Amino acid sequence: MSNLGDFDTFQGRLGTDCVKWDMIVKLYGDDVLPMWVADMDFPTSPKIVERLQKRVEHGFFGYTFRSDEYYNAIINWYKNRYNVDLDRTWIVDGPGVVPMLSFFVNLFSQPGDKVIIQPPIYPPFFKVVENNGRRVIENRLVKKDGKWQMDLESLESSIDERTKMIILSNPHNPVGRVWTREELEKLYKITQRHGIMVVSDEIHADLIYNPHRFVSFLNIGQKDVVVLNSPGKTFNIAGLTNSYGIIPDEKIRTAYKVYLENMELNSTNVLSVEALKVAYRCGHWVDELITYLQANRDFTYQYITSNMPLFKPELPDGTYLMWIDCSMMRLDKPQQFFLDKARVYLNDGTEFGDGKCVRLNFACPRSLLKEGLERMKRAYDNAITVEYFDMSDIRFKQCALIREMVFIIGQNIEQEMEMDGKDDEAVHFLLKHFGTPIATARARQIEDGIWKIERVAVLKEYRSYGYGKRIMDEIEKVLKEKGARKYVLNAQIQVQGFYEKLGYNAVGDVFEEANIPHVKMEKVVM
């Protein structure tokens, strides 16, 4: 029987000491919807729950060890999911992926040495380097042809004798790239030329969307390579803290195991061991999960692009996290905006190395996801304001600036013609979004009940986002309240279709104005 129905039912998580929910509600109130930390709002596989219940019923929780069943589960998973053949001796234990990252930084570098990371990146990558007295080298991802890529040329140029390691995120958190074999091979050649260790965090490796295919770094090379993983993200059992490393390089592996022994960190949690053993036999459940997550991903992307076009979401190849560029909002703190105005808590991009972005977690029931997005849309829409005033108002300067950018600079209209001396008899309109002036227009009463709408201008970078219609709707509303019976305007031929959609009809012949073809249009007030 399919478990897909389980993904649609939200069971509630408050009162469970849940970081994602209880912590945020405690800090910000019970009306806040958490859509942040990489923790799914789905119960784990029923088979895992059943196995844990059976183990708890046994009633004994003494010291335990990792058996053949444990290691074979990992080996079989890697073979079946990633086409990687593992030797059992390569698998090492660990208390969590992030602590293990810290261990490798301490083991294979000295204070003052350099470690490469690729922002925007999972925040602990910064911390495990800086908090251990090492220097972060930022090899920032670049966007080419609409796709995030590694800047390998810059990476190699940043390497010197103090550079010891690169920490790789694959799939990348937060932008969601699943690195191709070709990209990983190029990276490995660089690291081998310079004797740099690769530590690859592959904790999201199971959550990949068609047509993309995950390539483990173990498929690329094994010398100076460490891969870290856990079933925590895939099966939503991060609270059980069962992580492991795969180290084919005997020298690195031996040093790590000695370090772990010296730290007395060889013990394990009996329930986390049980969970891993059964989790890696739940491939069908994972396949169903991915199907649901991909539908959530597509829904989120389409909703944002259609309803909040100033936001630029990244369609992830993998993970259940969506990186959203909010730079066109021109807000200092977009994450704070969504918290204050939408009551939705997202991850702050500042922690990842880009404060103009936020990260949204879409791993939740569709109904919960829809509620969060609708809250964001309402906040987005409410951030649009249309003000009107006369020429004496200081805000007129912002209108004049927009007109200068659109007409004088953009269309080469002479300043004397654009500033025609009629502004003092007009009502001026100014549309702002998130406080940024975007569009303007003016309206003059030319006869009793007849108003002429003029100088409708939207800044170039904000066109096709619906601002023209928004300001026209507000103009008509205000003029109707002033007793308008008819609206008239001279439309440039290139935007005639826009006004026709608003109910305006062309009257008369095409004529030239400022060397631009125009047509007179009018609309009777209903």
DSSP labels for 373-406? HHHHHHHHHHTEEEEEE-TTSTTHHHHHHHHIII
Report the 3 state secondary structure along 482-495: CCCCEEEEEEEHHH
pLDDT of 217 above 60? yes
Q: Mean pLDDT, to the nearest integer, of 182-188?
A: 98
pLDDT of residue 366: 97
pLDDT given at position 265: 84
- pLDDT reported for residue 3: 45
pLDDT at 213 over 60: yes
| Report field, pTM of the whole predicted structure over 0.75 | yes
| Per-domain boundaries in the chain | 4-44+285-381, 63-281, 384-524
DSSP SS3 for 451: strand
β-sheet with 163-169: strand ranges across: 91-94, 243-246, 225-229, 197-201, 163-169, 114-117, 135-138
Using DSSP bridges, classify how beta strands 91-94 and 197-201 pair: parallel, antiparallel or unpaired: unpaired
What is the DSSP code string of 140-207? Answer: --EEETTEEE--HHHHHHT--TTEEEEEEESS-TTT-----HHHHHHHHHHHHHHT-EEEEE-TTTT-
Could you please state the CATH topology (level 3) that the domain comprising 384-524 is classified under.
Answer: Aminopeptidase (3.40.630)
Measured between alpha carbons, how far is 320 from 364 in angstroms, rounded to an integer? 9
Res 488: pLDDT: 98
Reported as a single tens digit per residue, the pLDDT across 314-340 is 999 999 999 999 999 989 999 999 999
Amino acid making up residue 217 = F
Has residue 289 got a pLDDT over 50?
yes
> pLDDT of 407-464, one tens digit each?
999 999 999 999 999 999 999 999 999 999 999 999 999 999 999 999 999 999 999 9
pLDDT at 5: 46
The residues pairing with 5 across neighbouring beta strands, listed in sequence order, are none
List strand residue ranges (DSSP E) for 303-401, in order: 312-313, 321-325, 344-345, 347-348, 357-361, 384-389
The CA–CA distances, whole Å, from 384 to 53, 345, 357, 466, 467 equal 53, 21, 20, 11, 9
pLDDT-based confidence at residue 266 (cuts at 50, 70, 90): confident
> What does the pLDDT look like over 346-355, one tens digit per residue?
999 999 999 9
For residue 4, name the pLDDT band (cuts at 50, 70, 90). Answer: very low
Architecture of domain 4-44+285-381: Alpha-Beta Complex (3.90)
pLDDT of residue 224: 97
d(CA 464, CA 125): 39
- Report the percent of the chain where pLDDT is more than 90: 94
**Domain 63-281 maps to which CATH number in 2.60.120.620, 3.10.290.10, 3.40.640.10, 3.10.20.30?**
3.40.640.10
26-40 mean pLDDT = 97
In sign, the C-alpha dihedral spanning 405, 411, 414, 420 is: negative
pLDDT-derived band at 285 (thresholds 50, 70, 90) equals very high
Q: Output the average pLDDT for the chain.
A: 96
pLDDT at 268: 86
At 6, is the pLDDT very low, low, confident or very high (cuts 50, 70, 90)?
Answer: confident
Q: What is the pLDDT of residue 91?
A: 98
For 466-513, write each residue's pLDDT tens digit: 999 999 999 999 999 999 999 999 999 999 999 999 999 999 899 999
∠ CA 178-120-214, rounded to 5°: 10
The predicted-structure confidence for 512-521, as pLDDT tens digits, reads as follows 999 999 999 9
The amino acid at residue 127 is K
- pLDDT category at 147 given cuts 50, 70, 90 is very high
* Residue 273, CA atoms < 13 Å, CB-side half-sphere: 19
Q: Residue 1 pLDDT > 60, yes or no?
A: no
Residue 388's pLDDT is 98
Residue 368: its pLDDT value, please? 97
Query: Which residue is listed with tokens 């329930």?
Result: 271
Handedness of CA 284, 75, 268, 242 (dihedral sign): negative
Q: Is the pLDDT of residue 57 over 80?
A: yes
